[in-house]
Amino acid sequence: MVTLQDIRQNEDIKALIRAGNRYLEACGYTDHGPRHVSYVSKTAAYILKALGYSPREVELAAIAGWVHDVGNSVNRHDHGPNGAVILLPILRETGMDMNDVMEIITAVGNHEEQSGFISSAVSAALVLGDKSDAHKTRVRHGRPDPTDVHDRVNFSIQENEVTVDRKARIIRHELTMDETSSVMEYLQIYMSRIVMCEQAAAFLKCSFDLVINGRPVNNRPRPEKDAT
């Protein structure tokens, strides 16, 4: 059974992640390299594990998180669907079961807020992991461009934590920002991503709570708990 470790060591996937990160650096985007994909992989896996999903679903979420941005090696636009197409033969060559391959490429192909649709737990966890990654360490070379709102927002975020309350069915994203940027600027960039996180949490029968500097930003109705 193909594991996250197998995927991390795959030379083709390493090359795709490097190429995508170089391309986005040239475009002026924040980090999309090993730091970002590692965060997404760990967070997606943590969410499903905390909610009691099977070990294989947890592993697939971790794999999806690691490979989700390979489409950036082609173009930023439609990098989700592009990445899914690129990954299909590569994952098959690893010997991965076709059902697992489809789980991953469907999640990868649908993680963009512009066109994505959440249809599985792995897909939902990937969205939550990806859209929650905002932190000063994403700013390249540790030197923000003060004229770039993405740099300002990320550099202002000193702490970032995603937690799961399985009993209350709450996925909480907590940020601590300094005065380098503002909550308003954060929302200008992340509003559509926050909405997608709410949709992802709802698929997992949870609510999504966003808290910035100790204050709740969204106010979502609590999902009804299953009778079980």
117 domain-assigned: yes
CA distances from 200 to 36, 85, 143, 184, 189 (A): 19, 23, 33, 23, 18
pTM of the prediction?
0.94
Boundaries of domain holding 180? 4-216
Burial class (CB in 10 A: 0-12, 13-18, 19+), 214: exposed
pLDDT at residue 223 in the model: 57
Q: Are 110 and 131 in contact (CB under 8 A)?
A: no
Report helix, strand or coil for 130: helix
Residue 171 placed within a domain: yes
The reply to whether 222 falls in a domain is no
Residue 36 inside a domain? The answer is yes
Domain at 60, CATH number:
1.10.3210
Q: How many domains does the chain have?
A: 1
Question: What amino acid occupies position 35?
Answer: R
| 64 in any annotated domain | yes
Reported as a single tens digit per residue, the pLDDT across 38-47 is 999 999 999 9
Task: Please report, in tens digits, the pLDDT of each residue of the chain (228 residues total).
Answer: 999 999 999 999 999 999 999 999 999 899 999 999 999 999 999 999 999 999 999 999 999 999 999 999 999 999 999 999 999 999 999 999 999 999 999 999 999 998 999 999 999 999 999 999 999 999 998 889 999 999 999 999 999 999 999 999 999 999 999 999 999 999 999 999 999 999 999 999 999 999 999 999 987 656 565 544
